[in-house]
Amino acid sequence: EDQVTQSPEALRLQEGESSSLNCSYTVSGLRGLFWYRQDPGKGPEFLFTLYSAGEEKEKERLKATLTKKESFLHITAPKPEDSATYLCAVISKAAGNKLTFGGGTRVLVKP
């Protein structure tokens, strides 16, 4: 059974204070790892897909990296508008079209 664990559960940052979110996964044959951002009361917004170890993707202040066991979402010099819950999900070869989500990391960036 695919498993995804995100840490920490919550993260409070000062504006400009860079940090990283962790997503550890156990899957049988990774097809893809996904990062989403979710604002309160809204649907998840797709950020990145990573397919293989060593791959990196960047978007504005966010950078996602992938190893064989975990992924990191680095937030560089965050702004208050980066406050959100960040969800990690995986899809495995055995899972067909189904994502397995982690529990999410709630990020609060204070000005």
Name which position in 49, 55, 61, 72 contacts other proteins (CB under 8 A): 49
Closest of 44, 26, 27 to residue 36, by C-alpha: 44
Residue 42 binds other proteins (CB under 8 A)? yes
Tokens of residue 111, six digits: 């000005």
Residue 72 binds other proteins (CB under 8 A)? no
| Closest separation in Å from C-beta 18 to other proteins | 25
Q: CB-side exposure of 15: number of CA atoms within 13 Å?
A: 5
Name which position in 19, 26, 31, 79 contacts other proteins (CB under 8 A): 31
Single out the segment in contact with other proteins by CB under 8 A; choices: 16-24, 55-63, 65-73, 90-98. 90-98
Nearer to other proteins, 18 or 28 (CB): 28
Q: Going by C-beta distance under 8 Å and a sequence separation of 6 or more, which residues neighbour residue 99?
A: 34, 89, 90, 91
CA–CA distance, 108 with 60 (Å, rounded to integer): 18
Q: Is the previous residue joined to 78 through a cis bond, with omega within 30 degrees of 0?
A: no
Binding residues vs other proteins (CB under 8 A): 31-32, 34, 36, 41-46, 49, 87, 91, 96-99, 101-104, 106
